[in-house]
């Protein structure tokens, strides 16, 4: 099996004409994962492919620009062309690489991932992403609740009836994924009320990151059409499980998988290269969390008290194990490792880039992760808050180096953005504080 990107007819205008597409959504995400786009009519497709389309970078969000900076120009990657007739019959989207002054912009997540992939010395990273999300609505008072008012059971996971009540939404997404060739293989009700997961087959890291962005867009827009909000926020409800973005990772070279080793003495079916990669991820786990769990809310998921269903299924410490969902790294089969620290707020490009850098450091240094259940010598607690994680990130030259892979200053900018996000949240007096302190002294 090969994980090479699918070679396609590279001419956007021709593809659009064949598919009856009249508009192209030229799309990219900022460092936080916000999808930004311009709608380009097919009459301008040739110019779009040749010259890109212009954005005021500061207005985009977290992408390293000030108001007085020159335009950010989004140049489409034609291999990512994706018709989305489920949104509009005549619409396709194309993922773009932002450029400034004629060069790829180092603060653009898609550019960063490609820079890290290019450093992997001929090794290719395959990624499978598990997209979990909640379908919610707001009541008249603005309170968020599961969109399905009957979804109240304390243990709703896999409930066939809860799944069936969302049949129209879930099967629309499944049909779209399959028509796009993503090979959707399962859709389920997850462990939280209102929570679902829709799985598609792994691919090369860039393709999967593009697909996660496309999937979030499709799921959000189609849910809105049914009067629901799809949320990928890591922990929308205190007493329910959170939403992960588990990443299934494997290394390949020239179409050959490097992870499986049936004679593995530890019994997980992994090769020495796989263990070294895994050990690298464990060693850099704390800094990595700032990238793969990048919001204040992320740490409500990983540090969570036990929810109503009985388990959080999300890691608190940097350990690895076999087919055991309590570890940061699970080894479900000898062909891959599953990173369970990443959540629905992760930017999939940055998550893949930072994880690859961490794993490759393990490969370069020939690291060994020690016994199952361990985490490189026992220093294994994951950061309890975003602020702790950001401190770990800036202290970790490998993970911060991944963010700076296309140019300097990105990690510093990201860390400052995330510190401000934490302090903004911290600045507000919460109901929990009032409860605790009002009459305590």
Contact partner, 325, from Mg ion, ligand GLU, none, Cβ < 5-8 Å per class: ligand GLU
Separation between Cα atoms, residue 298 and residue 232, nearest integer Å: 11
Number of residues forming the site for ligand GLU (CB under 6 A):
12
Q: Is 132 in the site for ligand GLU (CB under 6 A)?
A: yes
Separation between Cα atoms, residue 296 and residue 80, nearest integer Å: 32
Among 15, 189, 211, 301, contact with ligand GLU (rule: CB under 6 A):
301
Contact partner, 242, from Mg ion, ligand GLU, none, Cβ < 5-8 Å per class: ligand GLU
Among 33, 194, 242, 334, contact with ligand GLU (rule: CB under 6 A):
242
- Min dist. Cβ of residue 147 to ligand GLU (A): 18
Q: Which stretch of DSSP H or E encloses residue 98?
A: strand 91-100
Q: Which residue is nearest to ligand GLU (CB)?
A: 244
The helix/strand/coil state of 416 is helix
Q: Tell me the per-residue interface mask from 336 to 355 with Mg ion, x by CB under 5 A, - otherwise.
A: --------------------
User: If 0-12 CB within 10 Å is exposed, 13-18 middle and 19+ buried, where does residue 268 land?
Assistant: buried
Q: Which residue is nearest to Mg ion (CB)?
A: 197
Q: Which residues, numbered 179-198, are part of the site for Mg ion (CB under 5 A)?
A: 197
The CA-based diameter of the chain, rounded to the nearest angstrom, is 73
The helix/strand/coil state of 171 is helix
Q: Tell me the per-residue interface mask from 314 to 353 with ligand GLU, x by CB under 6 A, - otherwise.
A: x----------x--------------x-------------
Separation between Cα atoms, residue 73 and residue 99, nearest integer Å: 5
Stretch that binds ligand GLU, among 142-150, 239-247, 284-292, 380-388 (CB under 6 A): 239-247
- Min dist. Cβ of residue 332 to ligand GLU (A): 10
Sign of CA pseudo-dihedral 321, 323, 327, 329: positive
Stretch that binds ligand GLU, among 10-18, 113-121, 198-206, 235-243 (CB under 6 A): 235-243
* Residues 90 and 114: beta-carbon distance below 8 Å: no
State how beta strands 91-100 and 82-83 pair: antiparallel
Q: Please list, in sequence order, all residues whose beta carbon lies within 8 angstroms of the beta carbon of residue 109, skipping any fewer than 6 positions away.
A: 29, 30, 31, 33, 209, 347, 349, 350, 353
Q: At what angle do helices 285-292 and 348-364 cross, to 10 degrees?
A: 160
Q: Between residues 196 and 217, which has the closer beta carbon with respect to Mg ion? A: 196
- Min dist. Cβ of residue 95 to ligand GLU (A): 26
- Min dist. Cβ of residue 191 to Mg ion (A): 8
- Min dist. Cβ of residue 390 to ligand GLU (A): 21
- Min dist. Cβ of residue 418 to ligand GLU (A): 20
Which tokens sit at 169?
């939404």
Q: Is 313 in the site for ligand GLU (CB under 6 A)?
A: yes
Q: Is 244 in the site for ligand GLU (CB under 6 A)?
A: yes
Q: Between residues 231 and 314, which has the closer beta carbon with respect to ligand GLU? A: 314
Q: Is 191 in the site for ligand GLU (CB under 6 A)?
A: yes
Separation between Cα atoms, residue 164 and residue 152, nearest integer Å: 15
User: In this structure, how many other beta carbons lie within 10 angstroms of the beta carbon of residue 12?
Assistant: 24
* Residues 338 and 275: beta-carbon distance below 8 Å: no
Separation between Cα atoms, residue 212 and residue 245, nearest integer Å: 9
CA of residue 269 relative to chain centroid, distance: 27
Q: Which residues, numbered 55-74, are part of the site for Mg ion (CB under 5 A)?
A: none
- Min dist. Cβ of residue 238 to Mg ion (A): 19
- Where on the chain is the footprint of Mg ion (CB under 5 A)? 197
- Where on the chain is the footprint of ligand GLU (CB under 6 A)? 132, 190-191, 241-244, 301, 313-314, 325, 340
């Amino acid at each position: 099996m090969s994980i090479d990107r699918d070679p396609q007819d590279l001419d956007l205008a021709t593809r659009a004409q064949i598919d009856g597409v009249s508009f192209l959504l030229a799309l990219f995400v900022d460092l936080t994962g916000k999808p930004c786009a311009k709608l380009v009519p097919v009459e301008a497709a040739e110019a779009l492919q040749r010259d890109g389309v212009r954005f005021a970078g500061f207005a985009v969000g977290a992408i390293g620009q000030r108001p007085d900076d020159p335009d950010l120009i989004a140049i489409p990657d034609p291999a990512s062309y994706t018709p989305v007739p489920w949104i509009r019959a005549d619409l396709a989207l194309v993922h773009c690489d932002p450029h400034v002054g004629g060069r790829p912009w180092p603060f653009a997540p898609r550019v960063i991932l490609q820079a890290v992939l290019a450093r992997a010395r001929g090794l290719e990273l395959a990624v499978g992403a598990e997209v979990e999300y909640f379908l919610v609505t707001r009541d008249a008072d603005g309170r968020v609740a599961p969109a399905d008012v009957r979804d109240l059971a304390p243990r709703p996971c896999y409930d066939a009836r809860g799944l069936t009540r969302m049949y129209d939404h879930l099967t629309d997404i499944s049909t779209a994924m399959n028509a796009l060739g993503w090979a959707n293989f399962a859709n389920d009700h997850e462990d939280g009320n209102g929570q679902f997961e829709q799985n598609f087959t792994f691919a090369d890291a860039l393709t999967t990151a593009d697909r996660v962005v496309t999937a979030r867009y499709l799921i959000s827009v189609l849910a809105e059409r049914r009067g629901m909000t799809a949320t990928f926020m890591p922990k929308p409800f205190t007493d329910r499980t959170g939403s992960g973005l588990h990443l299934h990772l494997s290394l390949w070279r020239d179409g050959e998988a490097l992870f499986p080793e049936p004679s593995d003495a530890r019994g997980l079916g992994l090769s020495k290269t796989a263990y070294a990669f895994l050990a690298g991820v464990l060693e850099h786990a704390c800094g990595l969390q700032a990238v793969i769990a990048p919001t204040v809310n992320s740490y409500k998921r990983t540090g969570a008290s036990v929810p109503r269903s009985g388990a959080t299924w999300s890691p608190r410490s940097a350990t690895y194990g076999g087919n055991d969902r309590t570890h940061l790294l699970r080894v479900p089969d000898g062909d891959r490792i599953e990173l369970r620290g990443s959540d629905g707020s992760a930017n999939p490009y940055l998550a893949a880039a930072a994880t690859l850098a961490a794993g490759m450091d393990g490969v370069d240094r020939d690291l060994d992760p020690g016994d199952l259940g361990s985490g490189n010598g026992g220093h294994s607690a994951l950061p309890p808050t975003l602020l702790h994680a950001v401190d770990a990130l800036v202290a970790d030259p490998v993970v911060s180096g991944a963010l700076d892979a296309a140019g300097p200053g990105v990690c510093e900018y990201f860390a400052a953005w995330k510190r401000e996000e934490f302090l903004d949240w911290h600045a507000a007096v919460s109901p929990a504080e009032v409860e605790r302190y009002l009459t305590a002294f």
